[in-house]
Structure 1
């Protein structure tokens, strides 16, 4: 192994933690997310491009959200190999930092763009005319550049520290320290407040305002109301299920983890919560599906096509002309009767 830092944390070196959950659960989840998430996000990227093409600012946020998911998905093969080798990183430390940044920063880039989507929908529904200048392609582009710049700059803190350490079995552990190091505490507190708690209240405020206006609106069609409610419920669900448990346990670790014993007790549940964040890459395409009625219908058509393909054995029956309706068949018979030939 090349370029591994010799400055190993003694507490990590002396910690003996059972990593069996990584061999049992993590590879299954990573492979599942990779197999489902890659085509789903490629499809979402295409639909986001179509939205951008028709000058819909929401497409800018969805496009960036999908790009963030794809970048993380491309790092999954490295994590799959890592966990299958009993948490032993066989590449250099630079690649460990890149994969770790893609893993963790994908969380906060996703959170940021989920907030952008919620604010965009809030302004569109509650103040459709007052803040129109905030809902332009130019504004969405500027906000997206700011988010990416902020997350890239915050990654510099990670590059300043060693991210490959050795455990009691001399395995090279990538991006994890047991117990967590002193410099990580402040970063974790910042991530919990600015990366989870504040965005969560922002989502609640935005969608509460949206639902309140939609309920009082008598001019809004029922179909449109259902679409808006789908977007609200899917965004809140993705946020709570994928990001909630991880941030709560991250806060607990930062407050109470000071020994290997505590790290060992919380290890399994913490990594299960970390795996939940991975499902964000599969959930975001569902969010995109619910954000647009046309996209929802397109996804429904794709699902129906897949179902028909799976039932192809049942289609090949004596009904050889499924495209022919009774009206069409009657017209054919009438034309046959009138034809002198």
Structure 2
């Protein structure tokens, strides 16, 4: 029987009958995708933060949520060169144990901050369509800052166990981005909670917003020009957010759950491992796709970008 120390980490362990290693696949996919996402995300989110924090930029609740989303994305993409270097060096970590924990922690902080900020944005836009004359606290700039702070505190605190090596799933700092097979059971229990609170509830909220927003817009007659612009931005926000969830977050959460359910090594598990690699890249791509949302849905963002381009 094979000693656990002989197993290759992060889904890649072998037995006498079948080879489960997909290191070569990860070393082809991850560096290219991570560096590509880093470049687009750094440029897109850096420019977005510059626009959002201009003194003349309108301080609306929508822009406040988007500011925080852009900061979260920029924080995450700054860790991607370290991830790319790890796989370029053949799954060997050279940056020390502390930075290893921070890089792992940042991935999940960004993912769930993004999910919650996108969900709140959809709710705000939904309320603007369905209840345009009511003053909700979630649409107030003061309460928008409080909600953003609450999201940061909740996600940072809930993700803090990942700063522990035992919870993060690695025992050897040189293999810090690879999951040790023995930790899959603990991570499956954690994943069950995160799946419901961090993905299913926000996803269902966005679907409800989308369905009811479409229903209201189909019933409404030709609105005034100002109202039409408001409806267009609201619908753009909800549709783009729904696309981001379907493209970036849904495949990753499904495949991560399936992967953690299987603890053994067989020919059937290899495609799941490879699909999870692709899904993790799609999840990371959220950080460079969010600026598309800002361009079409943020207040005055498009005008500011055009002004910078003319200059």
TM over 0.5: yes
Match status 1:254 vs 2:257: no
Corresponding residue number in structure 2 for 1:192: 195
Residue 214 (str. 1) matches residue 238 (str. 2): no
Structure 2 gap segments, 5+ residues each? 15-20
2:126–2:234 contact (8 Å) kept in structure 1: no
State whether residues 118 and 203 of structure 1, in contact with CA within 8 Å, keep that contact through their aligned partners in structure 2. Answer: yes
1: CA distance between counterparts of 2:55 and 2:243?
Answer: 24
Q: Which residue of 2 aligns with 1:54?
A: 58
Q: Please name the residue that 1:295 is paired with.
A: 301
C-alpha distance in 2 between matches for 1:194 and 1:52: 37
Q: Does 1:203 align with 2:201?
A: no
In the other structure, the counterpart of 1:91 is: 95
1:73 matched to 2:92? The reply is no
| 1:60-88 CA-partner distances (Å, limit 9, x unpaired) | 11011001100111101111110101111
Distance in 1, Cα, partners of 2:307 & 2:160: 44
TM-score by length of 2: 0.85
Residue aligned with 2:181, SS: coil
Q: Does structure 2 retain, via aligned residues, the 8 Å contact 1:51–1:58?
A: no
The 5 A counterparts of 1:320-331 are none
- Residue-pair matches, total: 294
Per the alignment, residue 103 of structure 1 pairs with 107
Q: Which is higher, the Rg of structure 1 or of structure 2?
A: 1
| Aligned match for 2:290, one of 281, 284, 292 | 284
Tell me the TM-score normalised to structure 1 length.
Answer: 0.78
Q: What is the Cα deviation at residue 130 of structure 1?
A: 2.6
* 8 A Cα contact 2:113 2:152, kept in partner: yes
Distance 1:54 1:160 in 2: 41
Distance 1:158 1:89 in 2: 17
For residue 236 of structure 2, the aligned residue among 230, 235, 252 is 230
State the partner residue of 1:137.
141
* Alignment partner of 1:157 is 2:157: no
Q: Displacement of 1:104 after TM fit? A: 2.0
The structure-2 alpha-carbon separation of the partners of 1:134 and 1:228, relative to structure 1 and needing over 3 Å to count, comes to closer
Partner of 1:339: none
Given that 2:126 and 2:213 are in contact with CA atoms closer than 8 Å, whether structure 1 keeps it comes out as yes
Distance 1:120 1:175, change over 3 A: farther
Residue 45 of structure 2 corresponds to 41
Q: Distance in 2 between matches of 1:88 and 1:278?
A: 21
- What is the deviation of 1:12? 4.4
The answer as to whether partners of 1:12 and 1:165 remain within 8 angstroms in 2 is no
Q: In 2, Cα distance between the equivalents of 1:182 and 1:74?
A: 30
CA distance in 2, matches of 1:226, 1:130: 19
* Cα deviation digits, residues 23-54 of structure 1 (max 9, x gap): 21211111111111111101111232249953
C-alpha separation between the residues in 2 aligned to 1:94 and 1:114?
A: 30
Corresponding position of 1:182: 185
Deviating more after overlay: 151-160 vs 105-114: 151-160
Change (3 A) 1:283 1:140: same
CA pair 24-45 structure 1, distance change in 2 beyond 3 A? same
- Cα distance change of structure 1 residues 300 and 284 upon mapping to structure 2, 3 Å threshold: same
Please report the RMSD computed on the Cα atoms of aligned residues, expressed in angstroms. Answer: 2.7
Counterpart CA distance in 2 for 1:75 and 1:129 is: 43
